[in-house]
């Protein structure tokens, strides 16, 4: 008899949520039914609890009421074909799997998660950090003012905060179904799980999921559901390890620009790199026509009315040949900035072993880099041994036969954003690092963080396990097989001048050092930014004022001193279309005294 009851219980657990089953459970338990269909606003859109709708036409109509800039989700839809039949051109079946874990099957972790704490989002700064995290992962931002109140079943946002830096490194949202619609099965659901791509600590995502499970277990609930894209194998592996199993139910959404990849599938732009995709996605959002000419080469054309701009990745045909030459050749860049009076490191072309050794002896530590290169490829930083320097020169020659030696100066790598020759934001770029847990090999820690970066950037950002990474570990007394002591931080790259191995952090208490358009230049960094942008601005008259994104490094120039190019800039959303303006990205070497900045400007300047 007991075996039969257990078997029946398992059959009940495997049943999909439906309106009829929910009503039967209400009647069976004598509980009060919710007053009509249940809709919960989560700050980024609404969750429509599908099995509280008796009429599929009503659910379809509610999905069509989605507000601009939001994303509504209908979960627990038992008969999606019926809902889609009422608006087949406007609704679609979401390609996600719904998973469930019954808390009776849950097993707590045997190892503690250290180095960060999990707490509820409370302050405006918390919401700002969560939105920055979500936007870095391509997710919708949250407006906490629009959320359904928690006492009415609204969402609760939790965040993971690094104990050392105080940065928000992860976030998750949970909903208590019993509070939301008096769920007779006492369920709950997980939404919006995200971990920072640059998070150096392992296990943050797992810790957030476990925290939500244990929180709702403590509230007397019975299970937790979540929805995950069918091809997100990394996330599904984590959920399977925790005990989640498939739940046979469906999700329906409305077609919009945010959901477009889900119902159209990969288009011709799918093979574009992340830099080109950013421009293409924004152009599409603003109604600008896109023609992908060669996705593999990053070539595409933007058209609006009679205006056409051809681009390659983030470079447009508005760029002059002179500007391109100034940026491409690091020697010419160095001379141009030097003539403008900007302080730069000593530089020379690599020559004979004797000449190279003399340069190293004169400066004590050097940087090796190819004359023409990008993203830190072939760059080696803080070389103090002649043999290592010669090896680095040979590696750099794989990218360019001409190799530069520069004096190394420790400090911070500061990226300054200049628009219209006005500083609007800045970020400190730090070399990639990992934090030990006392159990995991350093190589495994690097690979885990690299996978997270690749997932967040479409494979563009990663931490290469190359000779430079090995050298950094060797200088610190470790190798890939070493186990880093718990809580110990270890930089695994020396250079922050590459998207492949860099993380960004706030230079002040704000997340991006906001400066109003009325601000005076806050430091020598700003002055250098304006001058660098002016030097790079070589386009013919009539193209309008330049916008500059200036990156200054105070630490011995692991990257080129000035790298500039022009690209088309879209008009702010209120007006639509193109500007007759261009964007200049400039990198310039700064003194450490100019890297501190000024954080006294309280009003952020919004970037469009």
Tell me the DSSP string of 268-337. Answer: GGGGS-HHHHHHHHHHHHTT-EEEEEETTTTEEEEEETTEEEEEETTEETTS-HHHHHHHH-HHHHHHHH
Q: What is the mean pLDDT of the chain?
A: 78
**Is 508's pLDDT higher than 60?**
no
> What pLDDT is stored for residue 199 in this prediction?
83
User: Do the domains spanning 1-265 and 346-407 agree at the CATH topology level?
Assistant: no
The highest-confidence range among 281-290, 341-350, 524-533, 560-569, by mean pLDDT, is: 341-350
pLDDT band at 34 (very low <50, low <70, confident <90, very high): low
Q: What is the pLDDT of residue 99?
A: 96
Mean pLDDT of 248-266: 88
Q: What's the distance, CA 556 to chain centroid?
A: 27
Query: With pLDDT > 90 as the criterion, what percentage of the chain qualifies?
Result: 39
- Which among 496, 531, 527, 505 has a CA at the least distance from the CA of 593? 527
Q: Tell me the angle at which helices 386-396 and 353-363 cross, rounded to the nearest 10 degrees.
A: 120
Q: Which residues pair with 101 in a beta bridge?
A: 224
Residue 56's pLDDT band (cuts 50, 70, 90): very high
Least confident of 21-35, 90-104, 324-338, 515-529: 515-529
Q: What is the mean pLDDT of residues 12-19?
A: 79
Chain centre distance of CA 227: 20
Q: What is the DSSP string of 148-205?
A: PPGGGT--EEEEEEETTT--EEEEEEEEEHHHHH--TT--EEEEEEEE-TT--STTHH
Contact 97, 103 (CB under 8 A): no
Task: Tell me: pLDDT of 573 over 80.
Answer: no
pLDDT of residue 305: 87
**Residues whose CB is less than 8 angstroms from the CB of residue 521 and which lie 6 or more positions away in sequence, other chains included:** 423, 527, 530
Residue 604 structure tokens: 């952020």
Say whether pLDDT at 103 is over 50: yes
At 64 the pLDDT is 96
Report pLDDT for 381.
Answer: 87
How far is 420 from 517, CA to CA, in rounded Å?
9
| Residue 172 pLDDT greater than 90, yes or no | yes
- Are 516 and 601 a contacting pair, CB within 8 Å? yes
Quickly state the pLDDT bin for 104 (edges 50, 70, 90): very high
Higher local confidence (pLDDT), 313 or 253: 253
Please say whether the beta carbons of 374 and 423 come within 8 A. Answer: no
Strand partners, 608: none
For 69, the 3-state DSSP assignment is coil
More confident position, 330 or 586: 330
- What confidence category does residue 123 fall into, taking pLDDT thresholds of 50, 70 and 90? very high
**Tens digit of pLDDT for each residue in 83-95?**
999 999 999 999 9
User: Higher model confidence: residue 30 or residue 524?
Assistant: 30
CATH (residue range 1-265): 3.40.630.30
In sequence order, the β-bridge partners of residue 400 are none
Burial 462-479 (b: 16+ CB within 10 A, else e): bbbeeebbebbbeeeebe
- Structure token pair of residue 240: 């399977």
- Write down the pLDDT at residue 88: 95
Region 238-267: mean pLDDT is 89
Mean predicted confidence (pLDDT) in 462-490: 85
Q: Are strands 168-176 and 156-162 parallel, antiparallel or unpaired?
A: antiparallel
Q: How confident is the model at residue 512 (pLDDT cuts 50, 70, 90)?
A: very low
pLDDT tops 80 at residue 423: yes
> Residue 28 above 90 pLDDT?
no
d(CA 526, CA 45): 39
Segment (H or E) for 45: none
Say which residues have a Cβ less than 8 Å from residue 361's Cβ, sequence separation at least 6.
Answer: none
pLDDT: is 512 or 529 the higher one? 529
Return all residues near 182 (Cβ < 8 A) that are at least 6 apart. 26, 31, 32, 33, 34
Stated pTM of the model = 0.66
Q: If pLDDT is split at 50, 70 and 90, which confidence band does 458 have?
A: low
Find where tokens 């847990």 sit. 437
Predicted confidence at residue 33, as pLDDT, reads 66
| Domain residue limits, the chain | 1-265, 267-316, 346-407, 412-432+493-594
Q: Between residues 546 and 59, which one has the greater pLDDT?
A: 59
Phi, psi of 48 (to 5 degrees): -100, 115
Q: Is the pLDDT of residue 308 over 70?
A: yes
Alpha carbon distance 85, 92 (integer Å): 10
pLDDT at 539 over 50: no
Angle at 391 between CA 390 and CA 394, to 5 degrees: 90
Alpha-carbon dihedral sign for residues 600, 601, 604, 606 = negative
559 pLDDT more than 80: no
Q: What is the pLDDT of residue 599?
A: 29
Q: Which two tokens stand for residue 500?
A: 């492949």
| pLDDT at 518 exceeding the cut of 80 | no
Q: Do 44 and 141 form a contact (C-beta atoms < 8 A)? A: yes
Contact, 492 vs 433, CB < 8 A? yes
| Higher pLDDT, residue 231 or 190 | 190
Using pLDDT thresholds of 50, 70 and 90, give the confidence band for residue 110: confident
| Averaged pLDDT for residues 397-406 | 92
Summarize the confidence of residues 575-591 as an average pLDDT: 33
- Split at pLDDT 50, 70, 90, the class of 468 is confident
Q: In whole angstroms, how far apart are CA 39 and each of 43, 82, 177, 178, 269? A: 13, 20, 12, 14, 35
- The candidate with the shortest Cα–Cα distance to 324, out of 562, 590, 569, is 562
Q: Count the neighbouring beta carbons within 10 Å of the beta carbon of residue 318.
A: 22
Contact (CB, 8 A) for 445 and 516: no
Stretch 521-525: mean pLDDT: 45
- Name the CATH superfamily, with its identifier, for domain 346-407: ATP-grasp fold, A domain (3.30.1490.20)
Which uninterrupted H or E stretch holds 97?
A: strand 96-102
Q: Is 28 helix (H, G, I), strand (E, B) or coil?
A: helix
**pLDDT higher than threshold 70 for residue 233:** yes
422 or 121, greater pLDDT: 121
């Amino acid at each position: 008899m007991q075996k039969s009851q257990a078997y029946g219980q398992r059959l009940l657990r495997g049943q999909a949520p439906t309106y009829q089953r929910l009503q039967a459970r209400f009647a069976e338990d004598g509980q009060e039914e919710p007053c009509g269909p249940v809709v919960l606003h989560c700050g980024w859109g609404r969750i429509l609890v599908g099995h509280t709708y008796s009429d599929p036409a009503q659910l379809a109509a509610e999905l069509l009421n989605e507000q601009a800039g939001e994303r509504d989700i209908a979960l627990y839809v038992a008969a999606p074909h019926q809902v889609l039949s009422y608006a087949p051109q406007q609704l679609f079946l979401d390609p996600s799997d719904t998973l469930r874990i019954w808390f009776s099957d849950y097993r707590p972790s045997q190892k503690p998660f250290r180095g960060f704490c999990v707490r509820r989002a409370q302050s405006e700064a918390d919401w700002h950090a969560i939105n920055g995290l979500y936007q870095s992962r391509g997710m919708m931002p949250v407006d906490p003012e629009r959320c359904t109140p928690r006492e009415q079943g609204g969402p609760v946002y939790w965040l993971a905060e690094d104990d050392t830096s105080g940065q928000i490194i992860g976030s998750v949202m949970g909903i208590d179904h019993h509070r939301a619609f008096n769920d007779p099965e006492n369920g709950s659901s997980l939404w919006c799980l995200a971990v920072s791509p640059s998070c150096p600590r392992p296990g943050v995502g797992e810790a957030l999921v476990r925290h939500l499970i244990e929180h709702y277990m403590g509230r007397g609930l019975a299970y937790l559901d979540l929805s995950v894209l069918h091809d997100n194998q990394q996330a599904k592996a984590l959920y399977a390890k925790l005990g989640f199993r498939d739940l046979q139910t469906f999700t329906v959404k409305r077609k919009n620009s945010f959901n477009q990849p889900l119902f159209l599938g990969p288009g011709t732009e799918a093979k574009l790199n992340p830099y080109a995709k950013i421009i293409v996605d924004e152009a599409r959002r603003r109604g600008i026509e896109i023609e992908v000419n060669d996705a593999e080469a990053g070539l595409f054309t933007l058209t609006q009315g009679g205006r056409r701009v051809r681009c390659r990745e983030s470079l447009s045909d508005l760029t002059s040949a002179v500007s391109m030459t100034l940026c491409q050749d690091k020697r010419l860049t160095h001379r141009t900035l030097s003539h403008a009076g900007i302080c730069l490191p000593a530089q020379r072309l690599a020559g004979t072993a004797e000449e190279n050794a003399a340069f190293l002896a004169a400066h004590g530590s050097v940087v090796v880099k190819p004359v023409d290169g990008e993203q830190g490829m072939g760059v080696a930083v803080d070389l103090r041994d002649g043999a290592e320097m010669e090896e680095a020169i040979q590696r750099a020659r794989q990218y360019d036969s001409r190799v530069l030696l520069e004096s190394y100066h420790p400090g911070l790598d500061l990226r300054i954003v200049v628009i219209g020759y006005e500083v609007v934001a800045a970020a400190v770029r730090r070399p990639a690092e990992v934090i030990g847990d006392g159990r995991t090999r350093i190589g495994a820690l690097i690979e885990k963080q690299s996978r997270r970066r690749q997932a967040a950037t479409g494979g563009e950002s990663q931490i290469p396990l190359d000779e430079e990474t090995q050298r950094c570990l060797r200088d610190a007394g470790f190798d890939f097989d070493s186990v880093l002591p718990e809580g110990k931080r270890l930089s695994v790259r020396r250079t922050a001048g590459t998207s492949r191995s860099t993380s960004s952090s706030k230079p002040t208490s704000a997340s991006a050092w906001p400066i109003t358009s009325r601000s005076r230049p806050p430091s020598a960094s700003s002055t250098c930014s304006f001058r660098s942008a002016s030097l790079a601005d070589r386009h013919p008259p009539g193209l309008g004022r330049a916008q500059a994104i200036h990156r200054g490094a105070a630490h011995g120039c692991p990257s080129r001193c000035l790298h500039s190019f022009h690209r088309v800039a879209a008009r702010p959303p209120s007006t639509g279309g193109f500007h007759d303006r261009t964007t200049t990205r400039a990198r310039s070497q700064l003194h450490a005294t100019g890297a501190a900045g000024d954080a006294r400007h309280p009003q952020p300047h919004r970037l469009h």
